[in-house]
Amino acid sequence: MRTYRISEAARLLAVSDDTVRRWIDHGVLSTTGASPVEISGDALARRAVELAATPVEPGDVLSSARNRFTGLVTRVQVDGIMAQVDIQAGPHRVVSLMSAEAVADLDLQVGSLATAIVKATTVIVEAQRSA
């Protein structure tokens, strides 16, 4: 089973190293008992699922889409009637192509808080080879 250092776990869960340490101290996230501290991949996966099931921003809108990435707008490039908007959501960069009119209506600017909602029919998964 693959294990992760605290800094790797924090990056994958989009939280700080201190948050991961607090979770370990409070028994929310288990470790392998190794020194330096290691977190097993299955424990990290369980925590990721728990976090994903916790609504980050409760609202009045219901949606069938489950892939929601809330983050900061890092780039807005308007070219004629179309625009490209980049959102940095933790370790994830999400790029959306939309109309320039939608960018104006949503008042999207660098530094704005935005949520990218992804609904797709195909998901391709890659894994790194074990050494």
Would you kindly state where each structural domain of the chain is located, as residue ranges?
3-53, 67-118
Report the range of poorest mean pLDDT among 7-21, 42-56, 97-111. Answer: 42-56
**Chain centre to alpha carbon of residue 71:** 8
pTM over 0.75: no
Per-residue confidence (pLDDT) for residue 64, from 0 to 100: 65
Q: What is the pLDDT of residues 82-101, one digit of tens each?
A: 999 999 887 788 899 999 99
Out of 1.10.3720.10, 2.40.50.100, 3.20.20.370, 3.90.105.10, the CATH code matching 67-118 is: 2.40.50.100
Q: What residues have CB less than 8 Å from 72, skipping those under 6 apart?
A: 87, 88, 111, 112, 113, 114
For the beta carbon of residue 56, count every other beta carbon within 10 angstroms: 10
**Count of helices and strands (H, E) across the chain:** 4, 6
